[in-house]
Amino acid sequence: MRLRQDFKFDLHASGLSAINNKTQIEFEDAQKKLKVIVCPIPAVCENSFIGVIYIIAERFVETPKDLENTLFIFGRILSNWISKYESCVHDRNQAQQNNELISHINCPDCNGNAHTMTINTLPPIKL
């Protein structure tokens, strides 16, 4: 399915408007017979937003009265999941870098020849 340029623009503009106005946006596309609901996703521990949720439905679908609150709660859940995922990826990359740094240290007394030495850890001391 190809989207018209003006519909793509409307989607993009509605996303920016939802973030800038900190509110849900709803509009209808007469040619496609679609209703578009755009809700901002709040950032974790901040008053800013990290993106938007797009819901595209048939135009005649009636939206529930509490949809804005429901989407705000869903946005908070999604935001927390994204934050946790990013934290896991960061921690994994940091651990990998630390392991590489610990296991490979260049010898400074080798006249420019890069030699690698392995560091072995001592067993724990029992008291």
48 within some domain = yes
Inform me whether the pLDDT recorded for 65 exceeds 70: yes
Tell whether the model's pLDDT for residue 98 goes beyond 70. Answer: yes
3-class secondary-structure state, position 110: coil
Residue 104 is predicted with a pLDDT of 61
Query: Confidence class of residue 78 from pLDDT cuts 50, 70 and 90?
Result: very high
**Cα–Cα distance, 54 to 15 (Å, whole number):** 8
DSSP three-state, residue 11: helix
Cα–Cα distance, 87 to 82 (Å, whole number)? 8
Model confidence at 5, pLDDT cuts 50, 70, 90, reads confident
**CATH number, domain at 17?**
3.30.450.40
Residue 11 contacts by C-beta under 8 Å, 6 or more apart in sequence? Answer: 3, 36, 38, 54
In a domain, 27, yes or no: yes
Q: How many alpha carbons lie under 13 Å from residue 111 in its C-beta half-sphere?
A: 0
**Does residue 127 or residue 33 have the better pLDDT?**
33
33-64 per-position pLDDT tens digit? 888 889 988 888 888 888 888 888 887 778 88
* Residue 92 within a domain: no
Q: Say whether pLDDT at 90 is over 60.
A: yes
Residue 4 lies in a domain: yes
Two tokens, residue 56? 């595209």
